[in-house]
């Protein structure tokens, strides 16, 4: 599994990690087995949020006895992101995850509390040893500029944003901004949530033929394409061990420049939208 630095001076983290949104909705045992298989296969970066129902409880079962192997990320809801609310939300997540610290804690999206208050809470949590680093999610460059003014350089570990073959808006400005400031980009919904390109579409056929050339699957090619830039990691969600194993194997798949060009043409980036798309 390829690893990448999680922010300036940050630790090395698996380029392909594991998302957990809706992971609590189906068979819990299968979900725990999927996460465990993913960890075994090197997908040690695990993403969750207080918003994801019981996902934190599912993760607690999957990481029991192996907390040190994983890079654990959770998120505070904007409606809780006051100075005091951020701290109590983090403490609730730690309890549900049955751990004493998060490796990174994110503001899920920008809300109405001043960034100064949320950042002050993040700093307090770091000082208390409850989080190792902090970042944000769904921040466009204007929000990132403001955040940088509040926090200063080398403080923002990551920005988690929507990125898949059919939604490449972050390539215009967010990825360059993050690369310039040493902020890791974590691509969420890398399979389009529930809208992965079908092999019968023109672009899907390109994906399929590249996959065949590598004896890989279209989803593995997609994950490799999305993480082609040095600062980009991704967190597909899988509820079965088979899916997790397939996704993890993408961490070693290297596409040629020609294949990257072909995908770039097939799945057009499109113009820069007025606001950053999010789910
Ligand atoms: P996703 O990862 O793009 O797609 C998940 C779908 O792909 C599920 O239906 C899953 O099915 C399927 N899948 C996964 N691996 C597969 C495989 N190898 N073969 C066939 N199907 C496969 O969607 P997502 O859950 O929206 O995004 C990933 C994670 O990003 C989330 O879980 C969450 O942690 C994070 N996220 C963050 C935000 C944010 O605002 N920060 C927003 C959205 C998502 P099975 O479940 O049946 O395996």
Tell me, using a 6 A CB cutoff, whether residue 238 lines ligand 1: yes
159 touches ligand 1 (CB under 6 Å): no
Give nearest CA residue, ligand 1 atom 30. Answer: 188
Q: Cβ(137)–Cβ(163) under 8 Å?
A: no
Mean pLDDT (the chain, rounded): 97
Please tell me if the CB atom of residue 18 comes closer than 6 angstroms to any atom of ligand 1. Answer: no
pLDDT of residue 271: 94
List pLDDT tens digits, range 86-139: 999 999 999 999 999 999 999 999 999 999 999 999 999 999 999 999 999 999
pTM of the model: 0.98
What is the distance in A from the centroid of ligand 1 to the CA of 69? 22
Percentage of the chain modeled with pLDDT above 90: 99
User: Under DSSP, is residue 74 helix (H, G, I), strand (E, B) or coil?
Assistant: strand
Beta carbons within 10 angstroms of residue 7's beta carbon: 24
Whole-number pLDDT of residue 210: 98
> Is the minimum distance from the CB of 47 to ligand 1 under 6 angstroms?
yes
- The pLDDT assigned to 176 comes to 98
Which pLDDT score, from 0 to 100, does residue 261 have? 98
93, 55 contact by CB (below 8 A): no
Give, for ligand 1, the residue of 224, 238, 279 to mutate: max count of ligand atoms closer than 8 Å to Cβ. Answer: 238
What pLDDT is attached to residue 153? Answer: 96
Q: What is the pLDDT of residue 91?
A: 98
Residue 189, Ramachandran bin (φ over 0: left; ψ between -120 and 50: alpha; else beta): left
Pocket test for ligand 1, best of 236, 240, 279 (most atoms within 8 A of CB): 236
Whether residue 220 has its Cβ less than 6 Å from ligand 1: no
Of 189, 198, 227, 277, the residue with max ligand 1 atoms within 8 A of its CB, to mutate for a pocket test, comes to 189
Kindly state if the Cβ of 235 falls inside 6 Å of ligand 1.
yes
| CB 102, CB 90: distance < 8 Å | yes
Per-residue model confidence as pLDDT tens digits over 193-248:
989 999 999 999 999 999 999 999 999 999 999 999 999 999 999 999 999 999 99
Minimum CA distance residue for ligand 1 atom 9: 194
* Mean pLDDT of all residues in 31-54: 98
The residue-averaged pLDDT of 152-158 equals: 97
CA distances from 6 to 13, 128, 148, 168, 226 (A): 6, 21, 17, 21, 16
Q: Is 113 a catalytic residue?
A: no
> What is the average per-residue pLDDT within 249-263?
97
Domains of the chain are 3-266 (3.20.20.100)
Q: What is the pLDDT of residue 175?
A: 98
């Amino acid at each position: 599994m390829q690893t990448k630095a999680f922010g300036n001076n940050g630790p090395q983290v698996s380029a392909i990690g594991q998302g957990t949104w809706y992971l609590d909705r189906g068979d819990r045992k299968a979900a725990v087995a999927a996460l465990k298989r993913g960890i075994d296969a090197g997908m040690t970066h695990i993403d969750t949020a207080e918003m994801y129902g019981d996902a934190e409880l599912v993760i607690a079962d999957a990481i029991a006895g192996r907390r040190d192997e994983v890079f654990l990320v959770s998120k505070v809801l904007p409606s809780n992101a006051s100075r005091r609310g951020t701290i109590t939300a983090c403490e609730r997540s730690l309890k549900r995850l049955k751990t004493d610290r998060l490796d990174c804690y994110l503001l899920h999206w920008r809300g109405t509390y001043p960034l100064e208050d949320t950042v002050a809470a993040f700093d307090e949590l770091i000082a208390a040893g409850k989080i190792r680093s902090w970042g944000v999610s769904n921040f466009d460059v204007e929000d990132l500029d403001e955040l940088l003014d509040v926090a200063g350089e080398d403080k923002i570990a990551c920005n988690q944003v929507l990125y898949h073959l059919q939604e490449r808006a972050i390539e215009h400005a967010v990825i360059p901004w993050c690369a310039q400031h040493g902020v890791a980009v974590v691509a969420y919904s890398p399979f389009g949530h529930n809208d992965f390109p079908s092999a019968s579409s023109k672009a899907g056929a390109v994906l399929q033929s590249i996959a065949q050339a590598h004896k890989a699957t279209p989803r593995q090619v997609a994950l490799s394409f999305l993480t082609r830039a040095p600062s980009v990691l991704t967190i597909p969600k899988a509820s079965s061990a088979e899916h997790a194993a397939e996704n993890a194997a993408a961490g070693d798949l290297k596409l040629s420049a020609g294949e990257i060009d072909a995908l770039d043409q097939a799945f057009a980036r499109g113009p820069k939208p007025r606001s950053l798309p999010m789910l």
